[in-house]
Amino acid sequence: MTSTSIPPAELTVLSPHDGTPVGTLPCAGADEVRDAVATARAAALDWARTSPEERGRWVRAAADALADHAEEVAGLNTRETGKLPQEALGGVMAGVGTLHQYAELGPVHRGHSLRGHALASDYTVAEPRGVVAAITPWNDPVAVAAGLLGAALVTGNTVVHKPSERCPHTGARLGEILAGVLPEGVLVTVTGGPETGQILTEQAGLDVLAHVGSTATGVAIAHAALSTGAHVIRENGGNDPLVVDDDVDPVWAAEQAAIGAFTNAGQICTSVERVYVHRAIAEPFLEALAAEARRRNADQALAPLVDRRMREAVHAHVLHALEHGATALAGGTIPEGPGSHYPATVLSGCTEDLPVITEETFGPVAPVRIVDSFEEGLRWAAGGRYGLAATVLTGRIAHAQRAIAELPAGTVKVNNVFGGAPGGAAQPRRASGAGFGYGPELLDEMTQVKVVHVEMPPTP
């Protein structure tokens, strides 16, 4: 979208399980968005003046309120996006945990001080930026939103949240629950699709645009911020590689690849999107990975894709790969029946010119390329336009160290495909975004630093 489009009147969500309607919600237009920003702006001064300790108490109360409604919110998430019930509940509880974490960290968030000369002091004061627009995706909607909202609120910002059009009921209910225990106007939720999001990002009265979502949207939001001067935080798409060395157990490596590629049907920003396996263990690895996929398909253990639009995009990557020399060792075909299910798919014989390798597929697809050495795997893994995260499986310390030094990604994981910093701190690179979207560093992103210099007047 370049010029601002008019939002449709409402959003209807269809179940990814069977295509039946889940519900309909209105889309906020220009007037509602303007009002939402005005409400958050009006509440900003009092909230900024509230002591960090007290803000921590409010955020803790919001976390407790969410915990009280965890099953309900997780249920909505499952109905709207197809997320497996246990994983949806896990996502909500992760959100509760994150809100608690920020409630504790906010009051102890601090700056630096130094002494310019004997009778002077220099220090930094972290101030709230003002009003934050938080624009969030559907694939782990509560956990992701809770992080942005928790960090923004506890540091004294007010927030306008726009959840994804693919889970507006989940987002709206989350907003009701949190806002229900927070001071008036501190958190406002607007529902709608990209058009509503675009109208929001173009509002002059916003101080931060925090976006978690696709790279294309992140770039559009960064452009919008150039004219308003808002600070931008972007946590965007990934194309994470997995490099498998010749000294690891191929069956364990295949389990890791399967967890990385198939969890939440591959709809995780840090899903394994491409695999480089050493030729020496390629055969047993591929066999075990195909077995992992077939087992998931037989058990119907996989969540459906979020909708048919997503399924078409995933299948287009797979079909293109199959037409250009890849072989499907498992999956690769659209199943009959309602909903937007897609099987766990293993593709062998993939090369670097295929979109399934160069782009984020965001589905349960593991495209595999056989390499002649760990170094060759690292070289391919370091390529491409994304820089979210990467994993290597190796027993050799020298190989692990090379991977840590050479992979241009925000997070490098050795021997655990979903390892990561407690609290989730990570700084994506290149097309994967900019700034910290999680962890204690998000408190820095949500504040601006004022440098203060205090000196004695001359003595008479």
The residues binding ligand NAD (CB under 6 A) are 1, 135-139, 144, 162, 164-165, 193-194, 197-198, 201, 212-214, 217, 220-221, 235-238, 269, 360, 362, 388, 428, 433, 437
User: Minimum distance between the CB of residue 179 and ligand NAD, rounded to whole angstroms?
Assistant: 18
Other CB atoms within 10 Å distance of the CB of residue 401: 11
**Across 49-186, where does the E strand assignment appear?**
113-114, 120-128, 131-135, 158-162
CB of 267 or CB of 297, closer to ligand NAD: 267
CB of 56 or CB of 175, closer to ligand NAD: 175
Other CB atoms within 10 Å distance of the CB of residue 309: 11
- Residues 424 and 142: their CA atoms lie apart, in Å, by 15
- Residues 9 and 12: their CA atoms lie apart, in Å, by 10
- Residues 255 and 395: their CA atoms lie apart, in Å, by 16
User: Minimum distance between the CB of residue 167 and ligand NAD, rounded to whole angstroms?
Assistant: 9
- Residues 378 and 383: their CA atoms lie apart, in Å, by 9
CB 206 within 8 A of CB 229: no
User: Minimum distance between the CB of residue 224 and ligand NAD, rounded to whole angstroms?
Assistant: 7
CB of 197 or CB of 339, closer to ligand NAD: 197
Which has the closest alpha carbon to 203: 31, 436, 11? 31
- Residues 148 and 333: their CA atoms lie apart, in Å, by 37
User: Minimum distance between the CB of residue 155 and ligand NAD, rounded to whole angstroms?
Assistant: 19
CB of 56 or CB of 266, closer to ligand NAD: 266
Please give the helix or strand (H or E) that residue 370 lies within, else none.
strand 365-371
Give 424's DSSP letter. G
Place of tokens 């029946």: 337
CB 81 within 8 A of CB 13: no
CB of 57 or CB of 430, closer to ligand NAD: 430
User: Minimum distance between the CB of residue 310 and ligand NAD, rounded to whole angstroms?
Assistant: 8
> What is the distance between the terminal CA atoms of the chain, rounded to a whole angstrom?
65
User: Minimum distance between the CB of residue 222 and ligand NAD, rounded to whole angstroms?
Assistant: 10
CB of 285 or CB of 362, closer to ligand NAD: 362
User: Minimum distance between the CB of residue 142 and ligand NAD, rounded to whole angstroms?
Assistant: 12
Instruction: Please report, for residues 32, 113, 215, 238, the alpha-carbon distance to residue 116 in angstroms, rounded to integers and kept in the order given.
Output: 49, 10, 43, 44
- Integer Rg of the chain from CA: 23
CB of 315 or CB of 399, closer to ligand NAD: 315
Instruction: Please report, for residues 243, 255, 278, 292, 356, the alpha-carbon distance to residue 369 in angstroms, rounded to integers and kept in the order given.
Output: 10, 17, 9, 18, 11
CB 5 within 8 A of CB 193: no
CB of 40 or CB of 282, closer to ligand NAD: 40
User: Minimum distance between the CB of residue 416 and ligand NAD, rounded to whole angstroms?
Assistant: 18
User: Minimum distance between the CB of residue 454 and ligand NAD, rounded to whole angstroms?
Assistant: 40
User: Minimum distance between the CB of residue 336 and ligand NAD, rounded to whole angstroms?
Assistant: 26
CB 132 within 8 A of CB 207: yes
CB of 254 or CB of 268, closer to ligand NAD: 268
CB of 89 or CB of 269, closer to ligand NAD: 269
